[in-house]
Structure 1
């Protein structure tokens, strides 16, 4: 004789069983300001210029053409950040040596200035600040699997393994004299991107019909955007040091004080 259980009763049993399982807490964290890197701390500790140098950045884009597949998604996303221009402008501003002028959103700025003049009925806005230097360059390479490897051990159904991978992002940065069009300096920096995976598991037959299986592990991936930011900060720091060494500017002075040297 078969025992028939109504579907509603099965659903009730299932729901009551699920209610006994505690819901995991979501690890929510508050937003925070990005910490200052050692490169920027060392740069800010240096004597600054007498007057900050106005610079323009039109675009500092991803030139790698690299894409990475997304898990469980049929589309692809870029391997590196598309916001490198904002990172570079922020770094130039934080360095204490440069005053970035708006160029990426220049059309928006001109539109707002036009609206302001129309509302006032006259052109009384001051002229826009011109740049003394033009900062060019971009993210020129993103190499995957520079180094890969790992180790593992298994015995009697118990196993553990560790895997790692290193990628590399490279940027180029150059400073162009707006008055002469000469490339004053060019800097290239690279940053490794580290990924690590740890796994451990158990796979063992307890009896002829009983199997015990368990697995746990974690993966750590270094954020690519922070690696790009680190490379940009190092490039700006190196640009400032090269400018001092070549006499284009000096602490306590600025590019205008050394104009004759930069044109020579």
Structure 2
């Protein structure tokens, strides 16, 4: 039995970002890359892993988040991650037009340029930041639960194309939980014959989803850093201030939100720090 493909689940931060009030004017932004700068491989206690701990598609995640921010009203995202392929396709179109229509063929319109470049990347992956567990056994029947907490860190900054000045910079963290629960039971079925049974399961929060929520919170915070520094404005100032107050409340909250170990919360809110 196979499960059907589904769209990526909405996160709490993503829902809030989608409801952002529209800006006075949409921002033209470019994303060239958003790399994994951690150099970390997947943690494994038994053997060396060569697979990366975090996604290598950061630029695609950031682009998708930007396109959907505020129901698509906040950013005009120009394609730069695959610029070579885009220029090659434009050249093919222009050559075909010239071959069919001659020198009077109509030229393609110029590419849209961006006033702001968004740069940064996944800058940290701290595995086994917290580990723990609990267990008990009585008369051959028992069970135990273990959990592990990893932290992924994302950095994002807005850079002015005209001056090269860093307009705003934010850093966010997202906690990833892994939980192992198992139980055992044994009894003597006969003399010198021991019957033993075991059962268990492991639950891991998706790393890619954690990176996505970290990026969503970074974009959300970057918008408000720009509003605070008067770089861009909300169309409805009062509505924007309501969202700004909510962000300030989150900054004053506890640094890390710890859910009950037995019930991991993949949508636990990320934490943000900013630099204006």
- TM-score past 0.5 threshold: yes
Following TM superposition, by how much is the alpha carbon of 1:47 offset from its aligned partner in structure 2, in angstroms?
A: 1.9
1:213 aligns with 2:196: yes
What's the counterpart of residue 243 of structure 1?
Answer: 226
Following TM superposition, by how much is the alpha carbon of 1:71 offset from its aligned partner in structure 2, in angstroms?
A: 9.8
Following TM superposition, by how much is the alpha carbon of 1:211 offset from its aligned partner in structure 2, in angstroms?
A: 1.1
CA distance in 1: counterparts of 2:51 and 2:44, whole angstroms: 7
For the 8 Å contact 1:70–1:77, the answer to whether it is kept is no
What's the counterpart of residue 40 of structure 1?
Answer: 14
* Gaps in structure 1 of 5+ consecutive residues: 1-25, 254-264
CA distance in 2: counterparts of 1:163 and 1:71, whole angstroms: 14
Q: Which has the larger radius of gyration?
A: 1
CA distance in 2: counterparts of 1:237 and 1:98, whole angstroms: 12
CA 1:49–1:60 in 2, change beyond 3 Å: closer, same or farther? same
1:31 aligns with 2:5: yes
Aligned residues: 227
What's the counterpart of residue 274 of structure 2?
Answer: none
In the TM superposition, what whole-angstrom CA distance separates every residue of 1:104-128 from its partner, at most 9, and x where no partner exists? 1000000010111100014610110
CA distance in 2: counterparts of 1:165 and 1:72, whole angstroms: 16
What's the counterpart of residue 104 of structure 1?
Answer: 81
Give matches, 1:165-180, under 5 Å. Answer: 165-180=148-163
Following TM superposition, by how much is the alpha carbon of 1:45 offset from its aligned partner in structure 2, in angstroms?
A: 2.5
What's the counterpart of residue 145 of structure 1?
Answer: 128
In the TM superposition, what whole-angstrom CA distance separates every residue of 1:9-54 from its partner, at most 9, and x where no partner exists? xxxxxxxxxxxxxxxxx3x221111233222322332321133111
SS at match of 2:51: strand
What's the counterpart of residue 67 of structure 2?
Answer: 93
CA distance in 2: counterparts of 1:103 and 1:171, whole angstroms: 20
CA distance in 2: counterparts of 1:155 and 1:38, whole angstroms: 42
What's the counterpart of residue 163 of structure 1?
Answer: 146
CA distance in 1: counterparts of 2:227 and 2:179, whole angstroms: 40
In the TM superposition, what whole-angstrom CA distance separates every residue of 1:208-258 from its partner, at most 9, and x where no partner exists? 2221110001100000000000000000000001111111100129xxxxx
SS at match of 1:236: helix
Following TM superposition, by how much is the alpha carbon of 1:74 offset from its aligned partner in structure 2, in angstroms?
A: 7.1
CA 1:60–1:113 in 2, change beyond 3 Å: closer, same or farther? same
CA distance in 2: counterparts of 1:200 and 1:193, whole angstroms: 24
CA 1:48–1:75 in 2, change beyond 3 Å: closer, same or farther? same
CA distance in 2: counterparts of 1:93 and 1:193, whole angstroms: 26
1:185 aligns with 2:168: yes
Following TM superposition, by how much is the alpha carbon of 1:69 offset from its aligned partner in structure 2, in angstroms?
A: 6.0
For the 8 Å contact 1:154–1:160, the answer to whether it is kept is yes
CA distance in 2: counterparts of 1:66 and 1:46, whole angstroms: 34
1:63 aligns with 2:57: no
* Gaps in structure 2 of 5+ consecutive residues: 99-104, 237-276
1:126 aligns with 2:109: yes
